[in-house]
Structure 1
Amino acid sequence: MIVTRHISLDNDCIDKMEPYVEKHKGNFSAAIREIIDRAGSCSSRMNSSAIDSSLFKWVLTEVDGILVPDSVLDELIDPALIGSMRRLEEYLRRRFSELEWDIEFALKSDNDTLPSDVLVEIKGNAQKIKFVACILSQYLVKNSPEHASLEIRSVNNFSDCMKVELSRSTRNEAHRSLITFFGGMDDVIKAIKSRPDFWRAVINGHLLSNYSMVTVHRNYFEDLLANKIPLGEITIETLAKKPIQDIPLKEMLSLIKEVYETSRVADRVEIDRESMILFHNYRNKDVVEKLKKSLVTLLEANGHLYDAKSTANMIVLTHRPDVGIKINEIVSNLKISNSRVDQDLIMFMAFLKGLKNIPDIPLSLTLLGRRIGKSLMQEYERENNIKNWELQDFQKALEIIDSRLHRESEWRLDGRNLIYTVRKCNIVAEGSTFDTYVCHTIRETFKGAMGYAFGNKAELEVKKLLSHGDNFCEVVIRVP
């Protein structure tokens, strides 16, 4: 039965009804019905939601760091209220008054309908105001229009007061800020709930082993099984959301600490400015050596050269920018066609011997060789506009590199295999320590070039080496 009544409303009531009238395209009766339905639903919830105060405090503690589901948020605060900051503030004042939470609330903005800056001030019980700040921040981020998304810029928390500042940004940045300030545990809880059996087993394993389990990326584990030096750059790049060479050194060290400690590869990692100490309890010296080289290579991929010393239970890494600068200088010189590689290497060796605390000169030469190979391949790639490397391109590039390294070589293409033979190397005379180091450096130049062109896809098989008593070097390159 429909009953018709005449009612009178003041302007304040009409303003509060405006979002509902707009939602129903001017149908005043439909707007009134929705308001009555929501009021009844709200009343029903209030009458049935009274819980013991100690239980309520526990609930507030447990939801810290977890965002309210969107469906619950929509029931709690009408999304239509986002159209007016004034009406939203009035509604929230009334709502918290009905709940008897003893909260003082203020919402300030530079514009009522499409604000660029919003300031939320909440006073009251510490647990309650944090929960309210989370709900309201989530509401503003979720419901603000995409072209005027509100990002949380700062959260200032005092004993009985919390202030949240928001300003316009992109949708992605706005959502990221919500996770940063209020939803730190949200993804964790969702992941555990999505695969409870898996996470229960993982957690039980760590607990039963007193956190002696190691959890690493599949590629890291694959490199271990293949007897390669594992890097772990995939995990670090995923966390940083950018390529490893674009990560600032300070952030890189923090990410290494996070990844190595949480994966339990290391017991503890300490950072002192640009130096790092990794504590471990590995007993096998070969394992410690592989871990040390892994860290040095990882940091070198980030663009920084480090010394590494190992003791019984720690690895100490010291930044050596002076060596890195010298390597960059040599690589730049090698791009000049008339550059004498042997003279550059002699100068570099003299430079290394003049430094203190360089425990592993061959390691520095390894990094020099890799950077030479990579740099020359980048130059060839740029000059010849190469998008995807093929074996033929690699052969032509290496012929140019060989001319700069004063080597006589030949190539044979056998299907997807490239057979590379060095017949003569003018700057290596068998016998001296220096020549051994030079030979090592040139081999690493080849590996650096191959790694740049093909990444992990190519395989290298060494057939013969001059240093093993043969009268020529020969390797086979296989590309799938």
Structure 2
Amino acid sequence: MSIRKNISLETGHIKKLEPLVLKHKGNFSAAMREIIDLVDTITKDPDAATRLISGLKTESNLTETVLDWLIKQARGRLIEQDILNSILDPVKTAQLPELEKYLDELTAGTGWQTKIRIYDYDDAISPSYIKITLVGNSISKMEFLGGMVSSFLVTQKKQEIASLKRMSSAITINFRKQVNANLARQSLVEHFGQIEDITSEISKKEEFWNCIVNLYKQTNYNMVTIPKNYYNELIMGKEAPSYLTAPIEAIHKVPIRDIPLGILISTMKSVYEYMGIVERIDVDETTLKIYHGYTDARAINAIEKILLNVLNANGAKYRSACSENLIVMSPVVQPDEDMLVLQLTKNI
């Protein structure tokens, strides 16, 4: 027989109960019953409490602390496929309800404090779309579990991440069917594997990157990086080359003319700033304000020529104006656009 009792709890007490409430899928009464059973056991065997607390201090707390640290270090990294398969067996989790149930069991311990829901799909085995939501107290744990589940859906269900929304206590991910494995993985890297390529390259050439990082650190990032062919022309005494498109084309793997103007401008900003070619580029729609950091007129003109030629090579016609501190580049309005503006003005 169930008996109802009204109890008063402070906010701090409720916060302490959250792991147990989460474990019991939000059932507060079930959490309280577990606490009562635990107290009953301790009352009958007082030494049990001492052993439990001692064990938590020497084992569980250390294990949980180390786990938290490792999970934070794994942020931006994708879990390796063989490890993923050992955690989420594709055979045992072939259907989405089975996957959700397995994840419930996997995260049932109070250490994870994360709830995962898989819903809004049209087929349990081969869906065209899926939505998952993770709710918990630790953003690091939600990120890790979200990346793990996303990796599984990308590799086993041929999905790609269509959108992702992060909040302080929840992550919602929308998936859609994607038969192109490269595009699917690209979406995974974009949302959960931002430093995957970086760590991979560092592990391949640790000595090289240790040296480079130390150089940048010791010079307060006052370094310039340029392609070798460009450098060769400079040391041979040639006039400063007027094109510096190789880094941008290497990133996008297409010629400059095939890169959409908005994407090109965004890439120019990040690439030329990080290479040290200019100090800063501010973008106002399609207008560029370039803070070059040079005082010599020849250097300023060379920077102007390099960036202007990149834009023109894209097929975008730009004009520029220089000062001691700033170069402003703005698009040239085409004659037909001028005529259209004039006609519209007459019709007003």
Q: Give yes or no for the alignment of 1:85 onto 2:102.
A: no
Which residue matches 1:214? Answer: 224
Task: Please give the per-residue CA displacement for 1:145-190, whole angstroms capped at 9, x wherever unaligned.
Answer: xxxx210111112221211111101211100000111101111111
Quick one: which of 251, 259, 264 aligns to 2:263? 251
Q: Which amino acid in the other structure matches residue 207 of structure 2?
A: D
Q: Give yes or no for the alignment of 1:168 onto 2:180.
A: no
Q: Give the Cα separation in 2 of the matches to 1:227 and 1:122.
A: 58
Which residue matches 2:328? Answer: 316
SS at match of 2:127: coil
Contact 1:223 1:230 in 2 (8 A): no
Which residue matches 2:85? Answer: 74
Q: Give the Cα separation in 2 of the matches to 1:318 and 1:257.
A: 15
Change (3 A) 1:99 1:91: farther
Change (3 A) 1:79 1:173: same
Q: Give the Cα separation in 2 of the matches to 1:224 and 1:81.
A: 62
Q: Give the Cα separation in 2 of the matches to 1:98 and 1:275.
A: 54
Contact 2:93 2:102 in 1 (8 A): no
SS at match of 1:83: coil
Which residue matches 1:56? Answer: 67
Contact 1:82 1:140 in 2 (8 A): no
Contact 2:136 2:170 in 1 (8 A): yes
Contact 2:243 2:306 in 1 (8 A): yes
Q: Give the Cα separation in 2 of the matches to 1:240 and 1:319.
A: 23
Q: Which amino acid in the other structure matches residue 234 of structure 1?
A: A
TM-score by length of 1: 0.54
Q: Give the Cα separation in 1 of the matches to 2:291 and 2:335.
A: 26
Q: Give the Cα separation in 2 of the matches to 1:75 and 1:51.
A: 25
Q: Flag as ranges the 4+ runs of structure 1 deviating above 4 A.
A: 323-326
Quick one: which of 106, 131, 151 aligns to 1:138? 151
Q: Which amino acid in the other structure matches residue 187 of structure 2?
A: S
Report the Cα offset of residue 256 of structure 1: 0.7
Report the Cα offset of residue 228 of structure 1: 4.2
Q: Give yes or no for the alignment of 1:124 onto 2:124.
A: no
5+ residue gaps, structure 1: 1-47, 327-480
Report the Cα offset of residue 274 of structure 1: 1.5
| Percent of aligned pairs sharing the same letter | 27
Which residue matches 1:409? Answer: none
Q: Give the Cα separation in 2 of the matches to 1:73 and 1:99.
A: 22
Q: Give the Cα separation in 1 of the matches to 2:90 and 2:337.
A: 57
Aligned-residue CA RMSD in angstroms? 2.2
Q: Which amino acid in the other structure matches residue 159 of structure 1?
A: S
Which residue matches 1:156? Answer: 165
Q: Give the Cα separation in 1 of the matches to 2:336 and 2:276.
A: 30
Report the Cα offset of residue 102 of structure 1: 2.5
Report the Cα offset of residue 282 of structure 1: 2.3
Q: Which amino acid in the other structure matches residue 162 of structure 1?
A: I
Task: Please give the per-residue CA displacement for 1:83-102, whole angstroms capped at 9, x wherever unaligned.
Answer: 21121111111111146422
Report the Cα offset of residue 71 of structure 1: 2.2
Contact 2:281 2:289 in 1 (8 A): yes
Q: Give the Cα separation in 1 of the matches to 2:264 and 2:181.
A: 27
Quick one: which of 283, 301, 312 aligns to 1:289? 301
Q: Which amino acid in the other structure matches residue 65 of structure 1?
A: G
Q: Give the Cα separation in 1 of the matches to 2:152 and 2:230.
A: 41
Contact 2:292 2:303 in 1 (8 A): no
Which residue matches 2:126? Answer: 114
Which residue matches 2:22? Answer: none
Which residues in structure 2 correspond to 1:428-443 (within 5 Å)?
none
Contact 1:120 1:165 in 2 (8 A): yes
Q: Give the Cα separation in 2 of the matches to 1:323 and 1:298.
A: 22
SS at match of 2:294: coil
Q: Give the Cα separation in 1 of the matches to 2:256 and 2:176.
A: 31
Which residue matches 1:454? Answer: none
Which residue matches 2:316? Answer: 304
Q: Give the Cα separation in 1 of the matches to 2:60 and 2:163.
A: 32
Aligned residue pairs, count? 275
Q: Which amino acid in the other structure matches residue 254 of structure 1?
A: S
Q: Which amino acid in the other structure matches residue 127 of structure 1?
A: S
Report the Cα offset of residue 222 of structure 1: 3.2
Contact 2:163 2:175 in 1 (8 A): yes
SS at match of 1:321: coil
Change (3 A) 1:156 1:85: same
Which residue matches 1:189? Answer: 199
Contact 1:221 1:230 in 2 (8 A): no
Q: Give the Cα separation in 1 of the matches to 2:258 and 2:337.
A: 18
Q: Give the Cα separation in 2 of the matches to 1:296 and 1:323.
A: 20
Contact 1:224 1:230 in 2 (8 A): no
Higher relative contact order (CA 8 A, sep 6+): 2
